[in-house]
Chain A
C-alpha cells in the first residue's frame, strides 16, 4: 500500500496521530502538498462521506475522521500557500438565527472541506445580514444555511430576500439543509440547492464551484 492510501485508510478509521505522522513522512519524502491533500486526505474523507450517505457510518465516525483530516491539513496548510494552491471555492456556512443546532452544520463543513472547499463557519444563531455581509467580504461562491427547527427554517427565506436586496443574489448560490427542510421548501423560498445529507451537500457545493 502506498503512503497516500495509508493516509486515506487511517483517516477513515479516525486515527489522527497516524495520519499526522504519515503526512509528515510524505512531506519529508518530497511529495507535493496538493497531492497529499487530494489523494490522501480528501480521498479518505470522500470514502467516509459515501459511507455516511449510505448509513454505514454515523455522525461520531465522521467527526473522528474529520479530526484526523484536520490534523493532516494543519501540517499541509503553509505548504499549500507556498505552492499557491487555492481552495476550489468559498462557502459561507452557518445555522440561522434563533437556532442553536451545531452538529449537522459541522458535518457539512467537514464534508465540504474534505472536497477542498474553503468554509467560513459563522457558527449558530446567525442573522441573515451576517450571511450577506460575510459573503460580500469573502466574495463567496455559496451561502449555506442550516436549520433544525420548523420554526427557524423560515429564517432561510430572509437570507434569500436579503441577498436579493443587497444585489448579490446572482453572484452567490444559496444552499439550505437541516432535518425539517425539503426540496419543495427550497423551491418555495427561492433558494438554489437542497441536499438531504452532508455528503451530497458537499458534492453539490463542489459542482457549483467547479462551474
Chain B
C-alpha cells in the first residue's frame, strides 16, 4: 500500500488497541478524537490551557516538549513520558497509551426499584397474513396494508427496510406496536412470543440524559414501566472541550466539525443502547421509543443544529420546542419506525434536563410550599418553585465541580476521591509537630474513592470535603488564602504538616506520590481554591438572586433538591461549610440523584408526563444573570468563604 510511508499511531486504552494513519492531523488529540473510538477528555478543547489530555508515550519519537507542557505538567510526569495530546505531533511512528477513565461508576441512583407509571398509549396488534404464492404476488407492503385496512394505521417507510425478513421470520404472523395511528415497530410474532407469554410486555424504550460531561441511558419495559438496565459514560465529545462554550466553538469552526460532534454523541447513544440490548437479550427492533433530555447545547449538537447564537448575547437557540424525531433520521439502530421524543427547554441555558428535574423532584405537581432545585454540572442551573410558578436561572459555575480546571481534578469515575474525612487520631504524637519534623507517616485525613479503586484524583464531592476541612482547621482562611509551608509550620496544627509548595504555590498534599494510583501526588493548590471560590460563588449568588427576585426568605423554602451526579455524592455539611449552599438551608437539603434521567424516563413512559414538560415550561420565567446587577454584587460577596 502507498500509505505505508505515512506515520502510524498505535494507541491503547482500557486494553483496547487501535492502529491508524496519522495523516494530516494537526495534533495527537485531533487524531485521537477524529480517528479512534477512544475517549480523551480535553476540557479546554485542545487549546493548551487545561493540561488534562494526558497521554503516555510508549515508543517512537514525539515532537519536542513545548513550553506549554512544561507549565502544565509536573517534571516527574514529563520524565515518565506523559505528554499533552493537544501539543504533540509524532516525528516517527508512535505508540501511546491513554488513561482509561471512560467508564462512569454504575451508581445506585441509576436504579429505579419500582416500576414507573405508564399511560398505556401503546397498543399491539397481531396480524396473520396470507402467505404469498404464484397466484398471489402482492408485494410485502401491499400484503401488510391490506391486512391493516380496517385499522387505519400508518406504516412509516423505514419499516419497509426489514419488512421482508420480519414477515418471513414470523412465518407471516407479525406483531405491530403502534402509538395512536403510527406503527412504531413490526416484529416477527415468533420473536416476541418466544420471549414471553405476553408479547405486549416485551416492548422497550430508552431514556437518555445527555450531560455535557456524562451521558446516561436507561432501558425500560414500555408496558410495565419496569426499569431493565442502565449504562453511562463520559460524553464522547469530551475531547472537544469540557464545557458547552468550547463545544460550540468547535462546532462553529466548520460544518464538518458540527457533524463530527453530532456523530460522536449519536454513536455513543447507539452503543449504550446496544450494550443494554445485548446484556438483556433484547432485539433492537423491540426498542421502539426513546426520550432524550439535555441542556440546549447538547440537544442542538445531537440534532445537528447550529448552536452559534446560544453562545453570544442575547443567547438564542434554534429551538426550545418539543420535538418528535423518527429514529432513522438520527441513525439510531432502534426500531426503524421508532420515535425519539425530545421534551421542550426553557431557554439557551435551562434545558429539558432541568425541566426533567423539576418533574422528577415532584416540584411540578406539589405546589404547596416553595422549593429549590439545583443541578450542579458544568453549568449550575437553579429553579425556584413558588406555588405553581417557577423562576429559573443558569450560573456559569464552570466545570470546576466536574474536576476540570483543578490540578488533580477529574470526573466521577473509578479512583476519584469522593469523600474526605478527618481521621480520629487518639493522641497526636508530640515529636511529629516540631518545625523540622518530616510529615508524620499517618495522614490526619482519610478518604474514600469511587469503586474503592486506588486514588487518582479528586471529583467535585472530594474537593468540597477537603476544602471544608481546610477551612475548618484554618489551613485556608475566609478570603481563600492557603497558608504557606512556613506559615503552616509556625501554626503547628497536625494538618499543617501536609502543606507543601507546588509550582511555587502553597498546596495541601492529601495523597503522596507513592500511595496514589498514578504515581503522582494528589493535592489541592492555592489556584484550585481560587477556582472553587468562583464556582461556588456563582451557585450561591444564583440562589440568593432568585430569592431576592421572588421576594422570598430562606425560611419559606421547604426543600432544596440537589440533582445530578455531583449532588448525589456531595456531603451537604461540607457544601454549607464552603458556602456553596447558603447556611440558612441547612437541614432542608435532599439529594435526588440523577433527576434528569428519572424525568426523561417518566416522559418516555407517559405522554401525560411528556406534556407536563410543556406546562412547566409555560409556567417558568427565566432570569438572565449575566446582566443582573444584583447577581454581580452577590457573586463578588459570595466569593469569600463563611468564617
A150 touches B45 (CB 8 A): yes
User: B639 within 8 Å of A by Cβ?
Assistant: yes
Complex: chain A residue closest to B632, CB-CB: A102
Q: Contacts of B627 on A, CB cut-off 8 Å?
A: 100, 124
Name the interface size band of chain A: 20 to 34
Cβ A101 vs Cβ B245 within 8 A: no
| Docked complex Cα distance between A61 and B47 (Å) | 31
Interface residue from A55, A63, A99, A180 paired with B636 (Cβ < 8 Å): A63
Interface presence of B505 (CB below 8 A): yes
Task: Provide the B246-275 mask, 1 if CB < 8 A to any CB of A, else 0.
Answer: 101100100000000000000000000000
CB-nearest residue of chain B relative to A125?
A: B313
With A103-B632, A125-B313 given, is the CB distance from A59 to B639 under 8 Å?
Answer: yes
Contact of B311 with A by CB under 8 A: yes
Chain B residues contacting A151 (CB-CB under 8 Å) are 245, 248-249, 252, 308, 311-312
Report the minimum CB–CB distance from A156 to chain B (whole Å). Answer: 13
Known contacts: A60-B639, A151-B248, A151-B252. The answer to whether A55 contacts B311 by CB under 8 A is no
What separation, in Å, do the CA atoms of A101 and B624 have in the docked complex?
12
Count CB-based A-B contacts (< 8 Å). 64
- Which chain A residues lie closer than 8 Å to B92 at the CB level? none
The one of B47, B249, B527, B636 in contact with A103, judged by C-beta atoms closer than 8 angstroms, is B636
Chain A residues contacting B189 (CB-CB under 8 Å) are: none
* A100–B245 alpha-carbon span in the complex (Å): 14
Does chain B have a CB within 8 A of A149? yes
In the bound complex, do residue B479 and residue A58 qualify as a contact, i.e. CB atoms below 8 Å apart?
yes
Inter-chain CA distance A180–B526, complex, in Å, is 20
The answer, among A61, A100, A182, for a CB contact under 8 Å with B49, is A182
Decide yes or no whether B328 CB sits under 8 A from chain A. no
Q: A99-B312, A103-B636, A150-B245 are in contact. Are A61 and B526 (CB under 8 A)?
A: no
Bound together, the chains give a CA A85 to CA B362 distance in angstroms of: 65
- Residues of B with C-beta under 8 A to A21: none
B-contact 0/1 string along A95-112, CB 8 Å cutoff: 001111111000000000
Closest to A102 in B: B632
Q: Mark each residue of chain A from 64 to 103: 1 if its CB lies under 8 Å from any CB of chain B, else 0.
A: 0000000000000000000000000000000001111111
Write out the residue numbers on chain B whose beta carbons fall within 8 Å of the beta carbon of A57. Answer: 479, 481
Where chain B touches its partner, the secondary structure class is helix
Residues of A within 8 A of B533 (CB): 58-59
A24 contacts the other chain (CB 8 A): no
CB-CB under 8 A from A55, the residues of chain B are: 505, 526-527, 530
Does B204 have its Cβ within 8 Å of any Cβ on chain A? no
Interface of A is mostly: loop
Q: How far is the CB of A98 from chain B (nearest CB, A)?
A: 3
Q: Tell me which of B505, B632, B636 contacts A60 (CB under 8 A).
A: B636
B311 touches A149 (CB 8 A): yes
Contacts of B230-252 to chain A: CB distance below 8 A: 245-246, 248-249, 252
Docked complex Cα distance between A149 and B627 (Å): 15
Chain B residues closer than 8 Å to A58, beta-carbon distance: 479-481, 530, 533, 639
In angstroms, how far is the closest chain B Cβ from the Cβ of A152? 6
Please name the residue on chain A nearest to B245 by beta carbon: A149
What 0/1 readout, one digit per residue, does chain B (311-331) give for beta carbons within 8 Å of chain A? 111000000000000000000
- Closest Cβ neighbor of B312 among chain A residues: A98
* B637, CB-defined interface residue at 8 Å: yes
Which of these, B311, B479, B637, contacts A152 with CB under 8 Å? B311
Q: What A residues does B636 contact at CB under 8 A?
A: 59-60, 63, 103
B626 at the A interface (CB under 8 A): yes
Q: Are A103 and B481 in contact (CB under 8 A)?
A: no
A103 to B537, CA, bound (A): 13
Whether B640 is near chain A, meaning CB under 8 Å from some CB there, is yes
A-B contact pairs, 16 of them (CB 8 A): A58-B530, A58-B639, A60-B479, A60-B639, A60-B640, A97-B313, A100-B627, A124-B627, A150-B47, A150-B245, A150-B246, A151-B245, A151-B312, A152-B311, A182-B47, A182-B48
Partner-A contacts on B (CB < 8 A): 45, 47-49, 245-246, 248-249, 252, 308, 311-313, 479-481, 505, 526-527, 530, 533-534, 626-627, 632, 635-637, 639-640
8 nearest CB pairs, A to B: A98-B312, A100-B626, A151-B311, A150-B249, A60-B639, A55-B526, A149-B245, A98-B313
